[in-house]
């Protein structure tokens, strides 16, 4: 019986362990600033340390010069920051700033941000509720996800739910 308890304790402790998010632990010593900010932020997000994730991602979003091969990291970060700001994860809830992050991500080609704007404008419980903007972004998001070879069915279902509510 004692052996079972010890094994359970070891498994429980390992399951609750947080990943080390230092650049060295993530093997980022020779990485660019963009990669370091992105991957350490992502590690903090997985650890549910949302404030640290936001801090890292905001550092990346504020870089003036981005290595061309890492532009996609900044675009993903803009989408992530929109989500964090919209719902107030690790940061003060600021839905208007979230919308700005998503608009910037869309301009740079991020398709998931279109889905987030669909939700932000279509949900009448949110301060960003706007039927005409919702219809536009939900229609775009629907076209994007319907055109994918393997769309996320949960996202597609959400988009269709918002579209039904708007009609």
pLDDT tens for residues 138-162? 999 999 999 999 999 999 999 999 9
Domain boundaries, the chain: 31-110, 111-167
CA distance 32 to 52: 19
CA distance 76 to 72: 6
Residue 10 has pLDDT above 90, yes or no: no
Q: Are the C-beta atoms of residues 52 and 41 closer than 8 Å to each other?
A: yes
pLDDT at position 81, please? 98
pTM confidence score? 0.86
Class of domain 31-110: mainly alpha
pLDDT of 71: 94
pLDDT at 17: 75
pLDDT tens profile 123-137: 999 999 999 999 999
- Which residue is listed with tokens 């989500």? 83
């Amino acid at each position: 019986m004692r052996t079972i308890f010890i094994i359970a304790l070891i498994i429980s402790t390992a399951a609750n362990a947080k990943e080390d998010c230092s650049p060295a632990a993530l093997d980022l010593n020779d990485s660019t600033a963009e990669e370091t900010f992105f991957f350490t932020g992502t590690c903090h997000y997985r650890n549910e340390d949302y404030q640290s994730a936001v801090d890292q991602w905001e550092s990346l979003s504020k870089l003036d010069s981005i290595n061309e091969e890492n532009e996609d990291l900044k675009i993903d970060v803009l989408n992530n920051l929109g989500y964090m700001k919209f719902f107030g994860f690790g940061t003060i809830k600021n839905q208007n700033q979230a919308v700005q992050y998503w608009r910037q991500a869309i301009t740079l080609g991020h398709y998931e941000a279109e889905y987030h704007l669909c939700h932000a404008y279509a949900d009448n419980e949110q301060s960003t509720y706007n039927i005409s903007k919702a219809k536009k972004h939900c229609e775009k998001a629907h076209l994007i996800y319907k055109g994918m070879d393997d769309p996320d069915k949960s996202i597609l279902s959400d988009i269709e739910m918002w579209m039904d509510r708007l009609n």
